[in-house]
């Protein structure tokens, strides 16, 4: 099976032939082509600017919803176990049992220590405060009186 092959010179010759046949002015078509290229560049710059604005708004929205938590040394915390996302158990907790905060660094870095005694640093966003014991709340009671 044979395939036709066109050289760039043939294509350019055909383009010139088409402009002559259709009575196009080469200068006007060249100017029109430059205008179209400039319009494309403007569309590209507008799209880039819109993407930049969208990213700024999304970042502002995300940052407004981040919960900033303050930790103190000696405080008990739970650590989020991100490895469970691969094979999550339906009733399995994603929080590892209490660790003790040993030191708090700037920019949200917290050093915690577990039962083994080896301290390690984690992002403060992966921690939440551990409340010991069961908190019993008084339930409102309604006393019913016997009808007379």
Residues 37 and 80 in one domain: no
3-class secondary structure per residue, 43-84: HHHHHHHHHHHHHHHHHHHHHHCCCCCCCCCCCEEEEECHHH
Tokens encoding 56? 């700024």
Give the start-end residues of each E strand in the chain: 76-80, 95-104, 109-113, 119-123, 127-129
Confidence check: pLDDT of 81 > 80: yes
- Domains held by the chain: number: 2
The answer to whether residue 50 is domain-embedded is: yes
Average pLDDT, the chain: 82
The answer to whether residue 147 is domain-embedded is: no
The range of the structural domain enclosing residue 30 comes to 8-64
The pLDDT tens digits of the residues spanning 102-128 come to 999 988 899 999 888 899 999 988 899
Spatial distance between the Cα atoms of 110 and 124, rounded to a whole number of angstroms: 6
> What CATH number does the domain containing 102 carry?
2.30.30.140
When mean pLDDT is compared across 3-12, 76-85, 103-112, the lowest value belongs to 3-12
Residues 86 and 52 in one domain: no
Q: Is 84 left (phi over 0), alpha (psi -120 to 50) or beta?
A: alpha
């Amino acid at each position: 099976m044979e395939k036709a092959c066109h050289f760039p010179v043939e294509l350019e010759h055909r383009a010139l032939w088409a402009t002559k046949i259709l009575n196009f002015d080469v200068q006007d078509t060249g100017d029109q082509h430059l205008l179209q290229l400039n319009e494309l560049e403007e569309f590209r710059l507008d799209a880039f600017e819109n993407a930049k604005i969208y990213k700024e708004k999304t970042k502002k929205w995300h940052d407004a919803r981040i919960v900033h938590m303050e930790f103190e040394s000696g405080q008990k915390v739970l650590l989020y176990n991100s490895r469970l996302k691969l094979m999550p158990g339906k009733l399995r907790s994603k929080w590892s049992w209490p660790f003790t905060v040993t030191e708090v660094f700037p920019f949200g870095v917290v050093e915690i220590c577990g039962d083994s005694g080896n301290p390690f640093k984690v992002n403060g966003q992966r921690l939440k405060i551990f409340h010991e014991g069961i908190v019993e709340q008084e339930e409102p009671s309604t006393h019913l009186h016997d009808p007379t």
